[in-house]
Each structure stands twice: as structure tokens, then as C-alpha cells.
Structure 1
């Protein structure tokens, strides 16, 4: 048996390539939308991808299940659990609890594990050439290393009302069932790692075991004492802010993401053509440099999307493809770099990258408005906006500030003043640059606080 983890640092998301070497067939679970890595892995091992599956309707990235199936002719498998409100809207084989995908000697058994979402599946893998019992669990957003999948995203991002409590009860029951039916030696391979917003304290290690989590995870005591109420209270307390784009991901993943097929190379856009496009409002410039470089000068109206470490995450904060039809022209070192940026943005359903430029030469530049912490007390503004998470804000903030996380700003403009100046800050400046550029693009007069909260804290002390 071959089991390989493909990890996206940008979104802290893991997909899995499971292959039967005897038969030369492979299954990919929770594929992302840029599929080149899976095709390359199959070619490397001389395998055909004959099946693609997913654990649930994802909220944090756009699924590549349909894309990979279309490219390989593989059979698609999705959950048929969760009731009528959680059925997929595209053609695929529906898996129910106990259904099995067979690849040569491998048996991949679907296990209904509701909690994070009602339809959620985990996959227990048995290597028949080695044992008749399962040895591995692809747990999706059910069990993480050191944590559990949050049950409140349907409320936070998908329009649900108090579904978090039912989800938390389901998660408690799923844990009890799983621990009763599977042995402690089971290797757990989760769908996310540290940095994901799908839980509040995910570990950075790539895998764990059921027994280790049973013994040491925060939830183990509640489960051992059958304390469901205590479990629910602890689970729901302190969850990070859910990004607003999660709602769009839920809708698109349920209906079925558009299949892009083979993509053409991106063209380098001549300066004069780019200037004309920007002037006509049909394109927007994406500055991918670090926030300190952008602060020294960028193209007027540019979106700040530092890349490529968090291109997908920040891109989904600053650009809403459901409302914005402008083409994105990205600043990139080479055409290959531009293609990487496009691939990252595709992962969150932003398919608008149409070209690139390699420098700011010949383009007008302007320094984004900013003030120092020393100037803040005497500066006239309508709102002081903290774009960090609620937990960061609670731990300490500038007096008088209002909190609205960067991933929610564009979708909550009704919480901002209709006129006047908004002063924005985050922890160190990078998230602030993204949110401030998005607000300027939306027509707001934004001034960034130099050094953000860390700069203010040093000054205030």
C-alpha cells in the first residue's frame, strides 16, 4: 500500500493519495483544485487514479474532486449521509456508513462521523495484503492532532442558526462510537494542520494515533467521564473567526465547482496595455510583495495579496468573485511564479487571474496613507478598526477600537461608517495591508497604523 500526504501550507489543508501497487490503481481523498501534483504522483508510481473522494462539503477551500475526475476518468465518491439538506448537487457515487471502495487489496470503508458537518465521512483503510483489520483513518475534519473539527461553521459562515449545539452533540457521539469500534493503534491522518480555521488548537504534526488522542487530547477527560455538557462548552469556547468566504465555498462545493480543464500559460501584460485596463476599470493590479514594501509605494487601487505563503487565504479576503468581475493582473517574478499565484487563488474559487507583470516600472505609484502610533491620539478619525481575530482582540487592543477580522471586512461593510476616515491595524501589519487595500478598493478612506498593534504597544509602554 502507498499512502502519501499532499499538504497545502497556504490553507493548512491535507489531501491524500492512496495506492494499490499490485493493481496500479489509486484513490485521492480531498483533492484541491489545482491537480498537477496528483497527476505527477500517479505518473511517478506508475499508477492510474481510478477514484476520487471527499470527506465532506468543505468550507475553507474549493474541492478538486470534479476537476481530478474529469482529467482522469476516475469515479467520484461523496457522502450520501446528512439528510436531504446536505446532499451534493453533482453526479457522483453516494457513500453511506459502511460502504466500501476497493482498490486491489485495499478496502476503504466510509464511516459516518457527523459533528463538523452533518454529512461528514471518515475513511478507515485496510491493507488486505498485510491485515484483515483497518490500520489507518483518514479523519477529514473530525479528529485532528490535538483537536477536533469545529461544529459552529454552519452558523458562522453558512447561514445556520444555533446548529453548533446539535453539531457538538453529534461530534461527542461520533467520538464515542469511533473509540468503541476502532483500536488504539489506528493511525489518524487528518484533513488539516496548525493554522487552519477549522479548529482552534490544531497540532502541527502530520498524523497521530487514536490511542494517543484518547489518552492526551483535551477532550479525553470529558469523554471518559461521559460529560457531554462540559465537552460542548469547551469545544465551542474560543473558536477563531470564520472567514466570510467560507459561505461561498460551502455553496460552490455542494453544487459542484466549475471544471476548468487544461489552463493556458499566463501572458505578460505590456505596461501600456495594463494602464489602459486599470483606467477602464476592467482589471485590478495585485501587489504580491510584503507589506513593508507595499507601504513604500504601490499602484493606486492595488489589492495587497502577499504571496505565495498565504495567497489563497488573503486573496479570498480581498476579492469576491461573486461580485467582482475584474481581471486580476498579478505582480510576479516570472511566468512560472504567476502560474503558482493563479493556482493558489484557484483553491478558493478565484479564477480571475488573466496576466502578470514583473515590475512596477512605468506604472504610477503612491504610498498608502499611514500614521504613527505617536500621531494617533491627536488624529481625527471616524473609526479605529482592529482586523485581528476576536481572541487576539480580547487579549489586548487599542482603547476605542472596534474588532472586525480581516476575513470578514468586505462582507460586513454595514458595520463601518458611511463617511470619514478609518484607521486600521492588525498585529504586525501584514493582515492590515490586505484589509486596508480591500477597503480602499471599496471606496473607503483608510489610514494604516504603522507597526500595527505591536508598534502601538511599544510606544504606549
Structure 2
């Protein structure tokens, strides 16, 4: 048996290649849309990719099962359980098969057994892996978004991203019962999850790539609850606002997205800064400057939005980008391939062009904002804008501040006046840098509070509520 782990650190997404060295067959579990890494490894190892398996309808990346089916002829295997999610509706010309609880998919001498594990979504299935004929019992289980290292999948995405009312509580109760069955597994069984730390599909995922049933039973907080209602309250509490692009993923993944062969790659463009500023003025275009926030604060092209790469790029493109807008990126040339991959894996296909950061220097009209620590800011002559999430705001905030969460921008800005400067902050100063660029584009005088609310508390030596 051959097992290969793939990890997209930008989207915190894991996928797997399982191969039988005796027969040369291979399967990919939860592939991303960029299938080149799987094809490359399969070729290097002498495998033919014959199967593409889904654990569920994903909300945080574009699934690559249809891309694999088109490119390699692999059969798509997906859940036939659940039904609330409308199920899969792939192109009927693609080879495919629905799976029910207990069904077995053979990859040469390796067996993958489908186990219905609803909770994160109604149709979710996991796959037990047994290396036959060497063993009669499974060695591990691919858990998708069912169980992670240190966490379990959130059950509220159908309600919060797809608008399906009442599914969050129902999903939490399904998760509770799925976990009771999971606890019956032997402690030695390995867990291969679909995500790692940083994923928005849970609230406290661990950074380690794998775990075991025994370890999770001992230390995973979600597995310590024996009362269903207490578990549901625990699981639903503290789940952050899902990125806006999750709704698009729930829309495209049941059918599969446009083949990559039909998606323009975007070109490196030779325009000056003034021409880029004209692009940024258009209502249906988004020009993203990926430079360090301090560089952007010193000098930027009007109309551009600062989403630094790699630190915040994936999350905030997913929260702020519109799928019907053409996208242009200011980025160092050696990062273009990475940016392309991130965007296609998020389904942001309207990438029209890339510019070198040197384009900023060619603009005849530039804009800038200030960076100051809380102690340097005189709050009595400023408007203070807090761009953190609501749960952060409710724990504590600066008296007199206006709360406009960054993921809601630019909505709510009409409550602000342009007669006074704005001191904008988040928890540490990263999200507020993005907000500063947007406020700047709307004509406000901006100060980004270095260190954010955390530093404000330290420098004021008080907390606020």
C-alpha cells in the first residue's frame, strides 16, 4: 500500500493519494481543483488514478473530482446519504457512483469502506482504510470534516452560508450521535482529517496532520461531552462568521466547476500606475495590492485594496472578493503561480492580470495613511472604528468606538464622517490594515492603530466592555 499526504497551507486543506503497488491503481480522497500534484506523484510512482472520492460537499475550496474525472477518466465516488443538501448533480457523462453506509471501494488490494458520519453536513461520509490481504482490520480512517486533530466539524455552515434554516441545531445533534459511534473504534486507529489549523470549518483545529482515535478520545474537547444538549451548546458556541465565498462553494461543488482548460490564467500586464488607478475606479473590477501593509501605508495607488500575501491573502480574498468582478493583482512575479493556484481553488476565475509592485512608483497620484500606537493617538479628536468580529467586540471594546466588522465592509461606512480622522483597529493590527486601505479609497483620513485592541489594553492598563 502507498499513502501520500497533500496539504494546501493557504486554505488549510488536506487531501490524500492511496495506491496499491501490486496493481498500480490509485485513488484521491478530497482532491482540490488543482490536480497537478496528484498527477505528478502518480506518474512518479507508476500509478494510474482510477478513483476520486468525496467525503462531502465542500464549503471552503473547489473540489477537484470533476477535474480528475475529465483529465484522467477516474470514477467519482460520492455520498448518496443525507439528502437535505440536494445531493450531487455531476455531469452525467462523467463516470460516477453514489455510496451508502458500508459500501466498499476497492483500490487494488486496498479497501475503502464508506461510513456515514453526518453532522458537519447531512451527507458526510468517512472512509475506513484496510490494507488487504495483509490485515483484516482497518489501519485508519479518512475523516474529512467529521473529526480533526483537536476539534470536530462545525454544523452551522448550511444555515449560515447556504441559508438553510434550522440545519445548525440538527447538524449538531447528528454530530453528537456520529461521535458516539466513533468512540467505539479501537484506540490505535489512525485519523487522517481533511483540514488543519487555520481552517474555518472548525473553531480550534490542531496543527498536527494526523492523530489517533485514542488520543482524540482523551483530549479532543468535543469528545468529552456525554449530554446531547450540552454538546450542542458547546459546538455551536463561538463559531466565527464563515467567509463569504463559502456560499459560492456550496453552489458549485454539487455539480463541479468550469474545467480549468476553459479558465483564463491571467497575464502579466505592462501598465503604469495611473492606468492601474483607472482600472481600480471601475465598479466591476478589483485591484488587490499584496505588499506589506507598512509599504502600502507609505505609498499606494488610489482604489487598490491591500490584502497582504501570504499572511492574510486567502482568508480575506474569500471574504471580500466578488465572483462577478474582474480581479487584478499587484504581486512579486515569483509568487504569481501560488496566487493563481489559491484563486482557482477558491473558484475566483476572473483573474485578468498581474502587476509588479514597481507599478506603484509610476503612479502620478498616490495615497497614504498613518500608523500609530494607541498611546500616540489622541482619541478625543478621532472617530474610532473597530473591525473585529462580533464575538471579539462583545468580550471588550474601546469606549465610544463604532463597530463595523471587516467582513461587512464597505457597508456601514455611511455612519462615519469625513470631517474627522478615523483610527481603525482590530485585535493586533493586521485586519485593520486591510480596512485602512478600504477607508482610504472612500476618502477618509486614516490612522491604523499598531498593535490593535490588545496593545490598547496594555497601554491603557484597563479593559473595557
Q: Which residue of 1 aligns with 2:117?
A: 113
1:330-384 deviations in whole A, cap 9, x for unaligned?
22322x4212111111221111222222223323453344474444523354xx4
Q: Which residue of 2 aligns with 1:249?
A: 249
Give RMSD over aligned pairs: 2.5
TM-aligned CA deviation for residue 143 of structure 1:
0.8
1:231–1:283 Cα change, 3 Å: closer
Whether the aligned pair in 1 keeps the contact of 2:84 and 2:122 (CA below 8 Å) is no
Q: Which residue of 1 aligns with 2:322?
A: 320
Distance 1:132 1:21 in 2: 18
Q: Secondary structure at the match of 1:31?
A: coil
TM-aligned CA deviation for residue 418 of structure 1:
5.4
Q: Which residue of 1 aligns with 2:381?
A: 379
Distance 2:213 2:280 in 1: 57
TM-aligned CA deviation for residue 235 of structure 1:
1.5
Q: Secondary structure at the match of 2:362?
A: coil
Distance 2:173 2:259 in 1: 36
Q: Which residue of 2 aligns with 1:133?
A: 137
TM-aligned CA deviation for residue 317 of structure 1:
2.3
Q: Secondary structure at the match of 1:139?
A: strand
TM-aligned CA deviation for residue 448 of structure 1:
4.2
Residues 230-245 of structure 1: pairs in structure 2 closer than 5 A: 230-245=230-245
Distance 1:273 1:315 in 2: 22
Q: Which residue of 2 aligns with 1:351?
A: 349
Q: Secondary structure at the match of 2:126?
A: strand
Distance 1:400 1:64 in 2: 48
Structure 2, unaligned runs of 5 or more: none
1:405–1:253 Cα change, 3 Å: farther
Q: Which residue of 1 aligns with 2:295?
A: 293
- Pick which of 80-89 and 268-277 moved more: 268-277
TM-aligned CA deviation for residue 427 of structure 1:
2.1
Distance 1:331 1:72 in 2: 34
1:101-138 deviations in whole A, cap 9, x for unaligned?
11100111111111011111111111113212211111
Alignment partner of 2:225 out of 219, 222, 227: 222
Alignment partner of 1:185 out of 178, 185, 188: 188
Distance 2:322 2:280 in 1: 20
Distance 2:102 2:280 in 1: 58
Q: Which residue of 2 aligns with 1:79?
A: 79
TM-aligned CA deviation for residue 279 of structure 1:
7.0
- Mapped pair 1:154 → 2:158: yes
Distance 2:146 2:341 in 1: 27
Q: Which residue of 1 aligns with 2:437?
A: 437
Q: Which residue of 2 aligns with 1:31?
A: 31
1:221–1:95 Cα change, 3 Å: same
Distance 1:201 1:447 in 2: 33
TM-aligned CA deviation for residue 24 of structure 1:
1.4
1:127–1:274 Cα change, 3 Å: farther
1:407–1:294 Cα change, 3 Å: same
Q: Which residue of 2 aligns with 1:66?
A: 66
Distance 2:314 2:287 in 1: 16
1:129-175 deviations in whole A, cap 9, x for unaligned?
32122111110111111111111222222213232211111001111
Alignment partner of 2:201 out of 198, 203, 207: 198
- Mapped pair 1:166 → 2:170: yes
Whether the aligned pair in 2 keeps the contact of 1:299 and 1:364 (CA below 8 Å) is no
Residues 20-59 of structure 1: pairs in structure 2 closer than 5 A: 20-59=20-59
Whether the aligned pair in 2 keeps the contact of 1:305 and 1:314 (CA below 8 Å) is yes
TM-aligned CA deviation for residue 388 of structure 1:
2.3
How many residues were matched structurally?
Answer: 447
Whether the aligned pair in 2 keeps the contact of 1:102 and 1:108 (CA below 8 Å) is yes
TM-aligned CA deviation for residue 231 of structure 1:
1.3
Distance 2:49 2:364 in 1: 48
Distance 2:155 2:267 in 1: 43
